[in-house]
Amino acid sequence: MYGIPDNLTDVIAVEVVEGQPIYIKVTEVHWEGHYPHSNETIFAELTEGSSEKDITIQIKKLLKRKTYIRKCEYCNLYHINGWMHGKSCCQSCAENKFGVIY
């Protein structure tokens, strides 16, 4: 829905409440040692009644916003920064390909 990649449906939320603006939220994850801390940030606010197309356009923008999301060169999937091992490699590829242990 709205072009949210399957692996990001847990971290990108589109909140549609009647009579309220539509909020697109992204969950950011920060690590303290092995403990993840997540917090939700509002990425965009759209006026009530915005079309599915308008929302999809915002999701596309969000996927390009490197402060939140990066694309892994190896699996070609988008990940939030908290799941990235480096700028272009996600944590699961780092584990699978380079033997990094998380």
| Beta carbon nearer to Zn ion, 5 or 21 | 5
Q: Which residues lie closer than 8 Å to 26 by C-beta, 6 or more apart?
A: 11, 12, 13, 40, 41, 43, 62, 68, 69, 80
| Beta carbon nearer to Zn ion, 4 or 85 | 85
Q: Side-chain half-sphere of 5: how many Cα atoms within 13 Å?
A: 16
Could you say which residues in the range 32-61 bind Zn ion, by CB under 5 A? none
| Beta carbon nearer to Zn ion, 7 or 50 | 7
| 23 part of the interface to Zn ion, by CB under 5 A | no
| 93 part of the interface to Zn ion, by CB under 5 A | yes
Contact positions vs Zn ion (CB under 5 A):
72, 74-75, 90, 93
